[in-house]
Amino acid sequence: MPAFPRSLILALPAVMVWSAASAADWGTLKGRFVVNGDVSDPAALTIDKDVEVCGKHKLVNEEVVVAEDKGVANVVVFVRDKKVTVKPELEAAAKEAKPVLDNLNCRFEPHVLFVQAGQELVIKNSDPVGHNSNIATVKNPPSNNLIPAGGEVTATFGSDEAVPAQVTCNIHPWMKGWIVVRDNPYAAVSGPDGSFEIADLPAEKLELQFWHEKAGYIGEMTIDGKKETAKRGRMKLEIEPGENDLGEIVLDAGLFK
Amino acid sequence: MIITTRLSLLALLVLLPLASGCGPTPPASFRLNMVEAISPSAEKDSISAEQALTPAQEKQVATILAAMFGTPDTPTCLPETGLDPAKLVLAAGPVRSDIVGRKNGLYREHCVHCHGITGDGMGPTAAFLNPYPRDYRPGVFKFKSTERASKPTHADLYRVLHEGLAGSSMPSFALLSPVQIDALVEYVKYLSMRGETELALMRYYFELDEEDEGKLPETREFLVEEILEPIAEKWASAEDQEIEVPEMPEDLDLAASIAKGRELFHGDKANCVKCHGVTALGDGQANDYDDWSKNIYKIEEKLKTLADSEPDSEERQWIAEFERVLAGDALTPRTIPPRNLRQGIYRGGRRPLDLYYRIHAGINGAPMPAAKGTVAPEDIWHIVNYIRSLPYDFDGELGADRAVAAQPGPAGRLVATQED
């Protein structure tokens, strides 16, 4: 397929172009979010419930997590296009996968979790104390279940969510996490070093959306030294077959105040 | 300068009574949900100036709503809502009578003072009540026989109107006829569906594509099939979502059940103790909010973090506008105390069945989580029995936890004071 001259692809009937793209051309998108200024150190949380268990973890506010080298964790990147072509292998893998949200050390692990609509989400509690997970979904029915120590409950979202849904624990008011629910598997959450990767994207023009819990939809970023505006955090990108590395994506510290 | 200001003020004072006293009363109109219009995201932690609906978008929402739901004087409902227009006529509009012995405008006679013309829970008396009157617009109701996220059944709302809500300002309307209560229940559903449609429309601006140019599609496919029908469907299916309650075992040993319930209450599985407190006085958790207040609280916190934004910036104008909206279209957020279980007053009813529903499904819109799936049905009954014993229990935790010391009082008499 890569040997195909581009002009020839354009000359082919539309159906053939579509089947060609869905058959072979897939690209990986990656990048690393960094902040270009000082972000204040995360504040220690006040632990006033189950102090003997939760108090020993030195919990801090996780709204903004920035690494030593300025990498920004927990930035969400996803493909907006509702009718995006999904690689069949990914479709199959998504059905098998069971994303897990754990109540661990009196915080949510992971802090931001991606779940594809239709997947079975396991919400478990690895702590020796009871928790409840209050999930504020909008299109899906919201839920708030008790989860005893060592227990677990499951949840399945039938529809995507326009904005990530907050998860809280009413017993331990400092606990806050997020669930990103999308219709397709093309989403990623940046890791502790700020890097993210979305594999097996169809090689075509896609609309991406960038979100962070403090910044909301990220409207401005500098990619490759060039200032890009992303209205409502949206940006159209031509995905090429193979690797698409955005390099360092610089975010202004003002976004995280 | 001062004189002219005073003069104009005087003129205004003279003219005001005239303005309100003469001429026909302007027709009642629904208010736009301004808090959501200025921050349409469902989650209020990352709201920003650029989210706010433009005046054109606000107008579009108002126009669509008027087309779908009419006005407070002449409500309309599409067949998809499943609402009965005849009942709405009885409940809506100004208080009036067309047939001897029949009164229309029941909502404005009985409900509007607290729940407001739009059903936003912001009638003139609302700010003085604790708890605040229900805001119907999110379509969330607390006291019902259905699963947590489900709508209340018609019978659930009927019951709330008929019995009132103990411990709140909601009185019993048992003196109204069943037909009248029925009509009011229908009107509450109407206001809810209207409010939910409004929210759905405002939230939809997030999902518009560039090609939509900031306008919602005004097709039947979008407005009815995508927005209205899912809302109406939830109301229509409420009866199927009723909680299945197993009978309390007949040969139950009440003392043993209460003891078991007590163990569960304090145990790590049901965990009631964390919020309702060791004493069950409702003092375990003092700083949580219900969903209505939490939204406003989060907005206020967010605005505080933006206090240092540039003067004259777009953000600054948005904050100023938001402060005006909060002053006029929102009630001051209040924390929600967990129920004091020693009083024997339960908002949603004192029948064992009511308490079973509350524990099984939790309370929608409130912090109370659902025990469903975690606590077995027979254990829920044990907790119900324990809770029902609490108002009559003067020893137990109440005695043990609250150390009472005898001190000499006035005239040398011994009085008990609580040691903190």
Distances, alpha carbon B239 to alpha carbons A161, B150, B154, B236, B357, in Å: 26, 9, 8, 7, 15
Torsion of CA A179, A185, A189, A193, to 10 degrees: 150
What one-character-per-residue DSSP string does A62-131 give?
Answer: -SS-B-TT-BBP--EEEE--TT----HHHHHHHHH---EEEEETTEEESSEEEEETTSEEEEEE-SSS-E
Task: Answer yes or no: do A163 and B42 touch at CB < 8 A.
Answer: yes
Mean of all residue pLDDT scores within chain B: 90
Task: Answer yes or no: do B268 and A144 touch at CB < 8 A.
Answer: no
Could you tell me if residue B21 is left (phi over 0), alpha (psi between -120 and 50 degrees) or otherwise beta? Answer: alpha
**In this structure, is residue B142 part of a structural domain?**
yes
| Confidence label for B291 from pLDDT (cuts 50, 70 and 90) | very high
C-alpha span between A38 and A153 (Å, rounded) = 40
Shortest distance between the Cα of B390 and any Cα of chain A, in A, equals 22
Nearest to A216 among B46, B269, B372 (CB): B46
Q: How many CB pairs under 8 A join A and B?
A: 104
Nearest to A130 among B46, B271, B291 (CB): B271
Q: Which residues of A touch B373 (CB under 8 A)?
A: 145, 153
Domain CATH code at residue B341:
1.10.760.10
The confidence score (pLDDT) of residue B9 equals 46
Please give the residue of chain A at the shortest CA–CA distance from B204. A162
The confidence score (pLDDT) of residue B361 equals 98
User: Are A122 and B130 a contacting pair, CB within 8 Å?
Assistant: no
Scored b (16 or more CB within 10 A) or e, A203-227 reads bbebbbbbbbbbbbbbbbbebeeee
Looking at the fold, whether B117 and B260 belong to one and the same domain comes out as no
C-alpha span between A129 and A154 (Å, rounded) = 19
10-residue mean pLDDT profile of chain A (257 residues): values are 42 43 78 94 94 95 95 97 93 93 98 97 96 95 95 95 95 96 97 97 96 93 93 93 96 91
Task: Answer yes or no: do B370 and A129 touch at CB < 8 A.
Answer: no
Shortest distance between the Cα of B149 and any Cα of chain A, in A, equals 6
What one-character-per-residue DSSP string does B222-278 give?
Answer: IIIIIIIHHHHHHHHTGGGGBPP-PPPPTT--HHHHHHHHHHHHHSTTT-THHHH-T
Scored b (16 or more CB within 10 A) or e, A40-53 reads eeeeebebebbeeb
Looking at the fold, whether B51 and B132 belong to one and the same domain comes out as yes
Please give the residue of chain B at the shortest CA–CA distance from A142. B149
Quick check: B309 contacting A, CB < 8 Å? no
Looking at the fold, whether B213 and B265 belong to one and the same domain comes out as no
pLDDT at residue B10 above 70?
no
Nearest to B136 by CA among B194, B62, B186, B92: B194
User: Are B196 and B231 a contacting pair, CB within 8 Å?
Assistant: yes
| Between residues B301 and A257, the one the model is more confident about | B301
pTM confidence score? 0.88
Single-letter residue type at B284: G
C-alpha span between B373 and A68 (Å, rounded) = 43
Number of domains in chain B: 2
Shortest distance between the Cα of B275 and any Cα of chain A, in A, equals 7
**In this structure, is residue B329 part of a structural domain?**
no
| Interface residue ranges in chain A relative to chain B, Cβ cutoff 8 Å | 49-50, 63, 129-130, 132, 134, 136, 138, 141-149, 151, 153, 162-166, 170-171, 173, 211-217, 219, 231-232, 234, 257
Distances, alpha carbon A104 to alpha carbons B74, B226, B274, in Å: 54, 38, 18
State the distance between the two ends of chain B, measured CA to CA, in whole angstroms: 60
Looking at the fold, whether B185 and B273 belong to one and the same domain comes out as no
Please give the residue of chain B at the shortest CA–CA distance from A215. B46
Task: Answer yes or no: do A151 and B374 touch at CB < 8 A.
Answer: yes
The confidence score (pLDDT) of residue B409 equals 52
Quick check: B304 contacting A, CB < 8 Å? no
DSSP conformational letter for B94: S
Nearest to B322 by CA among B300, B301, B297: B300
Query: What residues contact A12, with CB distance under 8 A and at least 6 apart?
Result: A20
Distances, alpha carbon A127 to alpha carbons B364, B370, B399, in Å: 26, 19, 31
State the CATH class of domain A27-256: mainly beta
Looking at the fold, whether B54 and B124 belong to one and the same domain comes out as yes
Q: Which residues of A touch B42 (CB under 8 A)?
A: 136, 138, 162-163, 165
ipTM of the complex: 0.85
Cβ count near A122 (within 10 Å): 14
The confidence score (pLDDT) of residue A12 equals 41
Q: Which residues of A touch B371 (CB under 8 A)?
A: 146
The confidence score (pLDDT) of residue B102 equals 85
Mean pLDDT of B370-383: 96
Domain positions in chain A? 27-256
Shortest distance between the Cα of B271 and any Cα of chain A, in A, equals 7
Nearest to B381 by CA among B279, B274, B241, B256: B256
Map tokens 């000359």 to a residue: A11
Single-letter residue type at B404: V
Looking at the fold, whether B202 and B349 belong to one and the same domain comes out as no
Torsion of CA A84, A85, A89, A92, to 10 degrees: 60
> Which of A103, A157, A163 to mutate to test binding with chain B, by most B CBs within 10 Å of its CB?
A163
User: Are B106 and B180 a contacting pair, CB within 8 Å?
Assistant: yes
Task: Answer yes or no: do B271 and A49 touch at CB < 8 A.
Answer: no
pLDDT at residue B412 above 90?
no
Shortest distance between the Cα of A5 and any Cα of chain B, in A, equals 31
The confidence score (pLDDT) of residue B26 equals 81
Domain that holds residue B82: 28-239
Report the DSSP beta bridge partners of residue A123: A101, A153
**Residue B113, token pair as written in the block:** 């003072």
pLDDT at residue B416 above 60?
no
**In this structure, is residue B20 part of a structural domain?**
no
- For B13, phi then psi, to 5°, come to -65, -35
Residue B87, judged by CB atoms within 10 A of its CB (0-12, 13-18, 19+), counts as buried
Task: Answer yes or no: do B374 and A144 touch at CB < 8 A.
Answer: no
Task: Answer yes or no: do B203 and A213 touch at CB < 8 A.
Answer: no
Scored b (16 or more CB within 10 A) or e, B60-70 reads bbbebbeebbb
Looking at the fold, whether B231 and B365 belong to one and the same domain comes out as no
Mean pLDDT of B19-26: 65
Looking at the fold, whether B194 and B262 belong to one and the same domain comes out as no
The confidence score (pLDDT) of residue B300 equals 96
Looking at the fold, whether B272 and B147 belong to one and the same domain comes out as no
Looking at the fold, whether B199 and B266 belong to one and the same domain comes out as no
Distances, alpha carbon B88 to alpha carbons A211, B74, B80, B105, in Å: 43, 9, 15, 9
Nearest to B370 among A145, A166, A232 (CB): A145
Report the DSSP beta bridge partners of residue B415: B407
Nearest to B369 among A134, A234, A257 (CB): A134
**In this structure, is residue B125 part of a structural domain?**
yes
The confidence score (pLDDT) of residue B358 equals 98
Residue A248, judged by CB atoms within 10 A of its CB (0-12, 13-18, 19+), counts as buried
Task: Answer yes or no: do B369 and A170 touch at CB < 8 A.
Answer: yes
C-alpha span between A32 and A30 (Å, rounded) = 7
Report the DSSP beta bridge partners of residue B398: none
Looking at the fold, whether B137 and B231 belong to one and the same domain comes out as yes
DSSP conformational letter for B125: T
Looking at the fold, whether B167 and B40 belong to one and the same domain comes out as yes
Quick check: B288 contacting A, CB < 8 Å? yes
Quick check: B74 contacting A, CB < 8 Å? no
Nearest to B305 among A171, A234, A257 (CB): A257
**In this structure, is residue B148 part of a structural domain?**
yes
Task: Answer yes or no: do A153 and B46 touch at CB < 8 A.
Answer: no
User: Are B362 and B370 a contacting pair, CB within 8 Å?
Assistant: yes
Q: Which residues of A touch B51 (CB under 8 A)?
A: 216
Quick check: B50 contacting A, CB < 8 Å? yes
Please give the residue of chain A at the shortest CA–CA distance from B226. A139
- H or E element in which residue A54 lies: helix A51-54
